[in-house]
Chains A and B, each alone.
Chain A
Amino acid sequence: MARAAGNSYYFTGKEFLEGLSPGAVSVNVQESYLPFVQAGGGNPKLAKLPEGTGGLALLCYVQSAGGKFKSGNGYLPISGAPVEIIGGGLKLAARADEHGYVVLALPPGQYEVRLPGFSRKVKLEKGKNALVAIRGGKRMVD
């Protein structure tokens, strides 16, 4: 899903919400610029999307649910997750960063993103960014 420019989003375990949440990693999405991950230390220099590409900010996560003492509902980033991205004649492999994010600029079109055992479809548009989360596992707490 393409997002409007210049906003921060954080993942709740189920969906991305606009804004910042204390202690949560967020991703800044701005039209025509490559998204970047915000993890509590200064913002990197903005980088324009290469001509004719769209941006993809992909979060790889393990769903967390349950908890007998307190709710353990949420998510865990899959640091170093191996991701395959297939579409538009391309077959790519990438690895998620320590926060579970993969950030790429790609030609517009339909793609399939894959974690081992899981996949989902993504549509990228020129000059816009897609914010996508793919579940790569489930943790039942208690």
Chain B
Amino acid sequence: MLFAALLSSLPFLAAAASLDDYYLNRFGAIYGNQLQPAGVVSVQAAGPQERCLTPLYHGLKRDWKQLAPETQKVLAKYLAKPVLTGEAVVRSSAGNFNIHYATSGTDVPKPTDVNGNPIPVTTWVAMVADVFENVYNVEVAQMGYTAAPTTAGAPYDIYLQDLGQTKTFGLTESDDIPVSPGSASFTSSITIDNDFADPVYAPYKSDSGLQITAAHEYHHAIQYGYNFFFDVWYAEATSTWIEDEVYDGVNQLYNYLSNYMFNTGASLDIPTDVSTGGGYGRWIFNRYLVERFNSQVIVRNIWDRLRSLGNANNGNDIPMLPVIDDVMTGTLGNDFFSFCKKLYVRDWSNHANETGLIYPILPITTYSSYPVNNASSRVPGVTLSHYSFAYYSFKPSVSAPQDLVLTISNRSPGITLAAFRKDPAGNVSEIAFAAATSTFTAPSFNAGTTSEVVLLVCNNNPTDTQSVGFSTDGTAIPIPQGGFPLLSPQQPTTPPVSSPASSGGGGGCFIATAAYGSYLHPKVMLLREFRDNYLLTNAPGRAFVALYYKVSPSFADFIARHDSLRRASRIVLTPVVLAVEYKGVATVVLLIGVFAMAGGYLRSRSFM
């Protein structure tokens, strides 16, 4: 009766007092006008009118724009929205978005074009609106995702805030209540950097940073709408993947692959962390799925299945791998294995013209001293966690056998293997496994017709601690108690990338990337080939590369900020680039000698 009385009094209250007073009074009545200290030692039963707060919150969101700015500031904490000084709002052309930006204070956009020339704020805000409408058109209208939910069908809110200081492109945060009681679908809001002009975003400044961030964040908003309880790694993998589906050509996503390749022994669903390739680097698995099923729909199907599960895990996030396996009708294991093979074979058909941007697999160990057995310096065996893999490379050498026979021993049930042979022209063929002898055989391995044989060891199972040993002399490799320690790839000696924007990309070519402006510049790619095919094949060269990784990031950051230094760096690098490009053998040999001497000198002086 009290509740009914309260409801019936609401219209009177609304007429007698402003909307601001209504919400301030309601929230104040429940929670007090001052912060209360924690540690209440007595209890009192709450009145029945406070039993359910959901309608109050829905109302606050619905009426938000009608409230005075001062009221919004007081109540903002209940909605977790950014508070922008002198906030202005622009509606996008098709009405799907409200772009909120500051007209004074520190969050005022100071946009520039790609050349650093200022552009009007109104032009920039209009561009932001248009980009989000394009994202909507692709992700919703074309790809068929359900649009991110909003309260009462209002336009989706995008906030422009200075995030450069926090080194964030953007963020998407759920609202604190579901679209309906008990639903797993949540509304959300997006905050992106106000202008992407901060040097920290280089080389993805201005419109390119805006584009990939809009595509990325809006899919997070879609994800909240499908099911709040998504597994974070797959959410990041999907949002990263979709950047290239909406804005093909910006290609920042390729930067995240190097750290995945450096950590292939970590499971597919490791916690999201750009330094390990967790989440972000896993976008390539979505590309594999699209290619495997010949349609982007497979990714949407996975999210549809997640939506159908609701809050199936009692308020915890729902592990994604079983969901993916379910959508793939139980073939996740086989497909993960195929995915691992494709990473080496590189016969991509989806975005085929960008195959060169996909970071190559990094062998855990490259063997060139034979026989390979338990006495080898890096023991030929591996223990893998679920859905992870490792590659091993075998190079011809004076000690190599004429025919390479890889004998597999002590294989756990969850381990699957494949072997490939690559000829000097780069052609790859798969080597058949002889089950009777548990061997892979590469005939004429040392006859000059093989550049390498690689062994893929894959745990394509949900079970951890799966092991296997291998040798080239037929001996069995015992599995140690607790399994083999997981080693990092032998080359390169340091993780390829720690910060995508400041270095311009991955792969370790920090100075070159700063000089040429992009990790993806063809000259930079040539220099990476020189590193991989010449410097990393000998100890002094490797020493030089290690020193380069150690000192170059700070130099690169300085170079990137100064046009004159970028030009000077390109001049210095030109002889190397030309030598590599035109395969001047004598020049390359001379350069190897120079780098090798430098590496040897530095090692002798104990700089490394």
With known contacts A47-B39, A66-B279, A138–B272 Cβ distance under 8 A: no
**In the complex, which residues of chain A have a beta carbon less than 8 angstroms from the beta carbon of B314?**
120
Q: How far is the CA of A78 from the CA of B76 in the complex (A)?
A: 12
Q: Is the CB of B40 within 8 A of A66?
A: no
Across the interface, A91 reaches (CB within 8 A) one of B36, B51, B200, namely B51
Q: Is the CB of B41 within 8 A of A65?
A: no
CB-based nearest A residue for B220: A140
Q: Is the CB of B30 within 8 A of A93?
A: yes
Pair count A-B, CB < 8 A = 151
Q: How far is the CA of A88 from the CA of B366 in the complex (A)?
A: 65
Q: Is the CB of A139 within 8 A of B38?
A: no
Q: Is the CB of B167 within 8 A of A82?
A: no
With known contacts A47-B41, A66-B236, A93-B50, A116–B176 Cβ distance under 8 A: yes
CB-based nearest A residue for B169: A142
Q: Is the CB of B173 within 8 A of A137?
A: yes
- Grouping DSSP codes into helix (H, G, I), strand (E, B) and loop, the B interface class, with mixed when no group exceeds half, is mixed
Q: Is the CB of B499 within 8 A of A69?
A: yes
Q: Is the CB of B41 within 8 A of A34?
A: yes
Q: Does A9 make an interface contact (CB < 8 A)?
A: no
With known contacts A68-B500, A136-B176, A137-B175, A80–B236 Cβ distance under 8 A: no
Q: Is the CB of A82 within 8 A of B31?
A: yes
**In the complex, which residues of chain B have a beta carbon less than 8 angstroms from the beta carbon of A91?**
45-46, 51
Q: Does B14 make an interface contact (CB < 8 A)?
A: no
Q: How far is the CA of A37 from the CA of B39 in the complex (A)?
A: 9
With known contacts A69-B168, A142-B168, A95–B36 Cβ distance under 8 A: yes
Across the interface, B315 reaches (CB within 8 A) one of A49, A104, A120, namely A120
Distance in angstroms from B135 CB to nearest chain A CB is 16
> Which B191-215 residues have C-beta < 8 A from chain A?
200, 213
Q: Is the CB of B274 within 8 A of A68?
A: yes
With known contacts A95-B31, A101-B38, A117–B172 Cβ distance under 8 A: no
> Which B22-62 residues have C-beta < 8 A from chain A?
30-32, 35-46, 50-51, 53-54, 57
Q: Is the CB of A117 within 8 A of B176?
A: yes
Q: Does A79 make an interface contact (CB < 8 A)?
A: yes
Q: How far is the CA of A110 from the CA of B44 in the complex (A)?
A: 17
- Grouping DSSP codes into helix (H, G, I), strand (E, B) and loop, the A interface class, with mixed when no group exceeds half, is strand
Across the interface, B274 reaches (CB within 8 A) one of A71, A79, A98, A116, namely A71
Across the interface, B171 reaches (CB within 8 A) one of A49, A104, A141, namely A141
Q: Is the CB of A138 within 8 A of B77?
A: no
Q: Is the CB of A90 within 8 A of B173?
A: no
Q: Is the CB of B40 within 8 A of A104?
A: yes
Across the interface, A62 reaches (CB within 8 A) one of B35, B41, B50, B80, namely B80
Distance in angstroms from B391 CB to nearest chain A CB is 26
Q: Is the CB of A138 within 8 A of B273?
A: no
Q: How far is the CA of A118 from the CA of B53 in the complex (A)?
A: 12
**In the complex, which residues of chain A have a beta carbon less than 8 angstroms from the beta carbon of B41?**
34, 47, 49-50, 105
Q: Does B170 make an interface contact (CB < 8 A)?
A: yes
Across the interface, A90 reaches (CB within 8 A) one of B43, B176, B216, B275, namely B43
Q: Mark A32-50, 1 if CB is under 8 A from B, else 0.
A: 0010110000001001011
Q: Is the CB of B169 within 8 A of A140?
A: no
CB-based nearest A residue for B239: A140
- In this complex, the interface size class of chain B, counting residues with CB under 8 Å from chain A, is 35 or more
Q: Is the CB of A37 within 8 A of B38?
A: yes
**In the complex, which residues of chain A have a beta carbon less than 8 angstroms from the beta carbon of B44?**
92
Q: How far is the CA of A67 from the CA of B80 in the complex (A)?
A: 19
Q: How far is the CA of A118 from the CA of B171 in the complex (A)?
A: 21
Distance in angstroms from B366 CB to nearest chain A CB is 31
CB-based nearest A residue for B170: A142
Q: Does A130 make an interface contact (CB < 8 A)?
A: no
Across the interface, A92 reaches (CB within 8 A) one of B32, B36, B45, namely B45
> Which A123-142 residues have C-beta < 8 A from chain B?
135-142
Q: How far is the CA of A135 from the CA of B168 in the complex (A)?
A: 23
With known contacts A66-B232, A105-B41, A119–B315 Cβ distance under 8 A: yes
Q: Is the CB of A116 within 8 A of B273?
A: no
Q: Is the CB of B272 within 8 A of A73?
A: yes
Q: Does A29 make an interface contact (CB < 8 A)?
A: no
Q: How far is the CA of A72 from the CA of B273 in the complex (A)?
A: 8
With known contacts A94-B40, A136-B176, A137-B173, A70–B167 Cβ distance under 8 A: yes
CB-based nearest A residue for B316: A135
Q: How far is the CA of A91 from the CA of B49 in the complex (A)?
A: 11
Distance in angstroms from B547 CB to nearest chain A CB is 25
Q: Does B336 make an interface contact (CB < 8 A)?
A: no
Q: How far is the CA of A102 from the CA of B36 in the complex (A)?
A: 10
Distance in angstroms from B195 CB to nearest chain A CB is 17
Q: Does B288 make an interface contact (CB < 8 A)?
A: no
Q: Does B397 make an interface contact (CB < 8 A)?
A: no
Distance in angstroms from B587 CB to nearest chain A CB is 38
With known contacts A82-B53, A95-B32, A140–B235 Cβ distance under 8 A: yes
Q: How far is the CA of A119 from the CA of B178 in the complex (A)?
A: 12
**In the complex, which residues of chain A have a beta carbon less than 8 angstroms from the beta carbon of B54?**
116-117
Distance in angstroms from B402 CB to nearest chain A CB is 49
**In the complex, which residues of chain B have a beta carbon less than 8 angstroms from the beta carbon of A2?**
none
Q: Could you list 9 further interchain pairs (A-B, Cβ under 8 angstroms) beyond the known A62-B173, A94-B40, A136-B176? A: A69-B200, A69-B499, A70-B274, A70-B275, A80-B35, A91-B45, A120-B314, A138-B224, A140-B217
Q: Identify the A interface with B (CB < 8 A).
A: 34, 36-37, 44, 47, 49-50, 62, 65-73, 78-80, 82, 84, 90-98, 101-106, 115-120, 135-142
Q: Identify the B interface with A (CB < 8 A).
A: 30-32, 35-46, 50-51, 53-54, 57, 77-78, 80, 167-178, 186, 200, 213, 216-217, 220, 223-224, 228, 232, 235-236, 239, 256, 271-275, 279-280, 314-315, 499-502
Can you name 26 A-B residue pairings with CB atoms under 8 Å?
A: A36-B38, A47-B41, A62-B80, A66-B171, A68-B169, A68-B274, A69-B499, A70-B167, A72-B168, A78-B176, A90-B45, A93-B46, A95-B32, A105-B43, A116-B176, A117-B177, A117-B178, A118-B315, A139-B171, A139-B172, A139-B174, A140-B171, A140-B235, A140-B239, A142-B216, A142-B236
